A and B are shown apart, each in its own frame.
Chain A
């Protein structure tokens, strides 16, 4: 039996057959699509200029080594073309009041200084822009212009002006044939009325500079995994050439350090981040794919290859690709000032040996943490977060995507670290829970 929007029981009324999804990563996109496919309207709010989330930054996925963008980008256009989905990118959820069936949401639409409905994404403006600044999407390794698209398949496929670095030379305005650019555009407030809310705010990477002994931020050839992803990505700042940042040489001997900001009580991250073992192994395999003669070593505490095909992938990395696995948490990384190589000190606990190994590139594999913006949303919605800052669910076993607040659901890494398949699964799960709530006006 299906109830009509509007609520059956009288005690709860709904004025809305609309859902709000906060966060446009792969989990939020899946939730939006699956809600929209059931006939409801969806507002998908994303804080950056484009949806796609962290997955858009990744080069390959584990354990199949599929191209991340090849999986994701068709999904991006699916979302943007869906008649029931409205993407509100470059926007922030500011305030939420009300309750299930009738949430009122204030969204700040930051001025991107480009009219989305006029811009065709041709990029003529980007070509003439004289300002270059580090590109956040490339983890500040490459450059972008002051008017930019973070990546070629950015969705919505429109440009954004970073007014913080724009010098207002007006060259972009002169070259734009569609009069899409307006440097005087102001932020706007949008008021929405929605029946349910899906929190899909994703994660942030642990700030690896919290481990000064590992040398990140001090030595140029110590990088973290997301920087590495951009370096091996054909659309990245080096067109996919894996080089060292100190001298642009191709690294011949790479060390990957696992569990940086994971399973460490002293850094406030006692939990396992689930994905680092596998993305670390994937990155190591990719180093071999780029240059089979590269020596590649992974320093790990345990290998947690829990998913389907993961253990086999781990085995393959060792036997077929020849990745060297050393069990031990790295004590410190020092730079050899003569060649900017790194000396890794580690106790190989499987062989009771103290090792000092010289690498020409070291990649730290950071753990995952909840994004800072989640605190604000939790505060607005009055739901609980756990000690680590992730969203608490009502019941891990029976309602794994329901928060403690009726009509508010959670998917993806906002609830805890997840790989892509699990994020997408919770995205679909959340869509079903959200649809049920919308149908019943929150009474169920």
Chain B
């Protein structure tokens, strides 16, 4: 059985614990063992990175060295975390001087970075370790007729040369999985565009506008929900639809990929934290066909 250290990052456990719960439930169902990753810090993506790129690589290096000390690869489920850890690894594997500097900092804790661990995003584990075939076969309740839009976010797929997840201009993994579990994946304009979330700290209004564009485009093609694989995207796309001006009926439900999959595997709503979704995905759930497997 394949094992990973589950790197949660800062945001998932606090703001989107259902993503964590659903990931654990679904991966254990599909034969992946997740281990708690103790004593890790924030990956430093964006916030630390924008102030001190070296400190950012230092944080990443420490996280990776901790994984090395346990001899396990790392699974990151947040787009920013997976991007950031892969970026740190890329620099440390390439830049000997930086590796020396980071290792001299790590010595205090008895850690050392040698480059022996891999960092994977959830989408890679689903596609490469488990495979579409198995994902399809494990289904016990298929979705039927529901049209869903995949949202990939920025850091999961870019830059390809470093993260190596999927074609950033034409990503397919989430769409394939949506189809595997019986729903219909729909294409929409600007599919690979940012959710707007990272701009929140600088320009809240612009961040909301970018997100609203996405919702408009998804609604335009008649999709009944958006499927995410990044904590920031999920939170932001939900949040911008909730406000005084928004009509509750016209909200597009946002659901994380493992939640969507979990329901098709017969995992109960409670374990997947469906009740925590800010926009109810009941419309999507309603299309599940009881007792219909693959």
Contacts and interface: CB of A to CB of B under 8 A. Distances in A.
Interface in B198-237: 220
Nearest to B169: A212
Nearest to B217: A334
Does more than half of chain A's interface fall in helix, strand or loop, or is it mixed? mixed
Q: Which 5 A-B pairs have the closest CB atoms?
A: A212-B170, A212-B169, A334-B189, A213-B169, A334-B190
A200 to B, nearest CB: 34
Interface in B164-202: 169-170, 187, 189-190, 192
Contact of A335 (B160, B170, B189): B189
Given A266-B160, A334-B189, A337-B220, 8 more contacts: A211-B169, A212-B169, A212-B170, A213-B169, A218-B187, A332-B190, A334-B190, A335-B189
Interface of A: 211-213, 218, 266, 332, 334-335, 337
B217 to A, nearest CB: 9
A279 B170 CA distance: 29
B158 to A, nearest CB: 11
Contacts of B160: 266
B149 to A, nearest CB: 15
Contacts of B192: 213
A29 B238 CA distance: 64
A199 B242 CA distance: 65
Interface residues of B, number: 8
A407 B189 CA distance: 54
Contacts, number: 12
A265 to B, nearest CB: 10
A347 to B, nearest CB: 16
Contacts of A332: 190
Does more than half of chain B's interface fall in helix, strand or loop, or is it mixed? loop
A2 B189 CA distance: 69
A212 B171 CA distance: 10
12 contacts: A211-B169, A212-B169, A212-B170, A213-B169, A213-B192, A218-B187, A266-B160, A332-B190, A334-B189, A334-B190, A335-B189, A337-B220
B186 to A, nearest CB: 13
Contacts of B187: 218
A313 to B, nearest CB: 34
A213 B189 CA distance: 10
A218 B160 CA distance: 23
A54 B154 CA distance: 40
A159 to B, nearest CB: 40
Contacts of A212: 169-170
A218 B187 CA distance: 10
A332 B170 CA distance: 13
A196 to B, nearest CB: 43
Contacts of A213: 169, 192
A238 B105 CA distance: 70
B222 to A, nearest CB: 12
A97 B10 CA distance: 66
Nearest to B167: A212
A77 B160 CA distance: 51
Contacts of B190: 332, 334
A337 B219 CA distance: 13
A265 B160 CA distance: 13
A12 to B, nearest CB: 49
Nearest to A211: B169
A213 B170 CA distance: 8
A334 B192 CA distance: 12
B202 to A, nearest CB: 17
Most buried by B among A213, A218, A334, A335: A213
A333 B189 CA distance: 10
A335 B190 CA distance: 10
A266 B192 CA distance: 17
